Structure 1
C-alpha cells in the first residue's frame, strides 16, 4: 500500500502538490488549458513550476479579460502534449490538492487521456476542506479564504499565484489547529484513487447506477470478492474511492487489479447472481455460506418446469425476467420472449441451495411467476 502523504501534515514525508489551472472555459472535453501552476511541498522544502499552454483554440475575450492571458501570449507556448510526460512525472504519486478540485483534476485527466496517459492521483479539494474545518462559514471561494485568513495574493486568476494561495491556506490550517484535528479532517475529505491503481473513475462511471453484482479480481486474475447492490456504481466506488472506507475495504482495494459487473434488473436478480457467483468462483474475501437446519437439499420443485420471475429496476425503470428451474438460477433476460432461451435441461438438473434459500419463502408468499414450457411461454401452447 502507498504511504500516507498526510503523516507529517504541513511538510509531509511524501511530496504533495498544490495545483491551479487557467482554461478557455469551464466545459470538460471542449475547453482547454491555457496555464498550469504547481507548488510542490515535501521534506526537502518547497518548489514552484508554471507554464503557459497553447490551447490550440482561441481564448474567449471575457476569459482574456479575467485572467490577463491573451492569444498572443500562448501562441508560442508548448502544447499540453509537449508538456505531458514531464508534467505527469512532476505530479505522479503526489497527493493532488486544488480549489474546487473536480474542475482542475477533470481537465488534467482529460488532457492526459488525449495523449494516451493515465492520471489518477489521490485528490483533496480545499473547498471541501474549508467547509469541514469551518462549517459555520457560508463562503469558501478563494477570495473568501484570502479575506478570512489574511492570505497574500501575488495575483488573481493566474495559475501559480492561486496555487500559492492554497499553500498559504494549508500552512494557516496547520498553525491554527492541532495535528490530530487536521489529520481527521484531511482523511475525511481526501478522495483516494491510488489504492486501486488499475481501476480509475472512467471504469467506475461505466457501471450501471441500479441493481447488479460485481466481482473484484487480484493478481493472476484470482477472484477476490463478489458483492451486490441496488446502487451498483455507488457501491463499487465506496470500496475503491472516497474517505469513509473500512479497514477491510482499504486492504481489499490494494489487492484489486480488475473488476467485472453485471446488471440484474432488480434486487432478487442481484441476490441470485451474487450467490451463484460466490458458489462457482469462491472469492477469497467472501465468507462461505453457513448451512441451516431448515434447509432441505433436493426440496421438491413446485412447478412442472422452468419459470420466469419479473422484476423492475427502481433506478432505471427497466424490466428483467429471472429464469429458474428445479431451484437452479439459469440467468436473466431483458425480455420475456428471450427468457425461454435460457432453459437448459443439463443446468436445470442441478439443485442450488442458495437459490432455494432466496426464493422458497418468496414463492410461498405468492411471488408472481410466468411458467415456461420447452423454452417457450406456457401460454403459447
Structure 2
C-alpha cells in the first residue's frame, strides 16, 4: 500500500508538538515471576514469568491474609531485582517489615529498593507522577535499550484515604466520602496509565475486597470500575485454610490442623491468556509458597495428565516416553512437572488456551458478572 504522506516527517513533528505521545507498538518484554508456575501461566501465558512490566498495570485483590503482599511485595519485587528492574514500594498500610522482606530473599538496601509510606490518594498520585518526570529527565535522551526499568508497587490502594476523610477526622465529623475516593483512585489510575504507556515502567497494586449485602455478589472490589478498565491483569484471591491432609492425602490423624494458607485465585482479566481460569496456591507456614501449586489441576484440565484408576499418565510428545505415577508421587518428585513445562510448546496450541466452553465461566460468575469463589 502506498503511504499517503511522509510518515517520518509526521512523527518528527508530532513528537515535538505533543509531549508524551509515542508511535508504534511497545509490547512488554519483561514478565515478573509471581512465585507460582501455574499463576504465571494464567496471568502471562508463560510458566517463567506472569506479570507484564512495561507500560502495564496489574491488580491483586483479595481477603486480608490471602497472600497478596506475599506475591506482590515479596515475590514480584525479588524477581524484579533479579531482572535488573528497580522497585519502588509504596506501603500505605505501614505493614511491610524489613525482617519479613529479608527472610523472603528481597534485597532491602537503597541500591536495590526504595520504600515509602504514603497515606492519601493525592500524595500517592503526586509522588508517582513526579517520580516518572524525574525518570524522563534521566532516561529519555538514552537509547531505548539503555533506559532504566522501574516497578511501582502500591500495597494497597484500599488503605489510601482522601484529603476530605483526613479533614473530617481532624474535625471529629465522620460523614464518609460519598464515593469521592473511588473517583480519585480512578483518576489516579487513568493518569498513571497514560504516563507509563510507552515507558519501561510498570505498576502493580493490591486492593481489598468487601462483602456485598447482595447474597449473589459476595465479593466486591472497591475503587470503581475504572480499576478494571485500566489494568492489564486482575487476580482475585480468597483465603482458605491449608490442612495437613491436603498436603498429604495419607494423613488422617489430626488432618484438620491448619498448616498454612490455601489461596483460591481467579484471573478475572488478562490480556495474555484467557480470563476466568482459577487455581489454588499453597502457602505452608514452614516452607513458604509452593511454586508447583495448581500445576497438577491445570495439567489434568488441559488433558496433559490423564487419570487411569488411581494413577496419572503423561506421554511425552518429544520422546514418546509414558510416565505413570500416583498423585502423591507427582508432588514428591517434581521432575514430571518440570518435564511437562519444558515440553509445553509441543503439547498445546496457544489458540486453545483457556476454557473449552463458556459454561465453565458461568460456574464462577453471577448474573452481574462478578466472580464467586
TM class, shorter-length:
under 0.3
More helix by share: 1
Larger relative contact order, structure 1 or 2 (CA cutoff 8 Å, min sep 6):
2
Which structure has the larger Rg over C-alpha atoms? 1
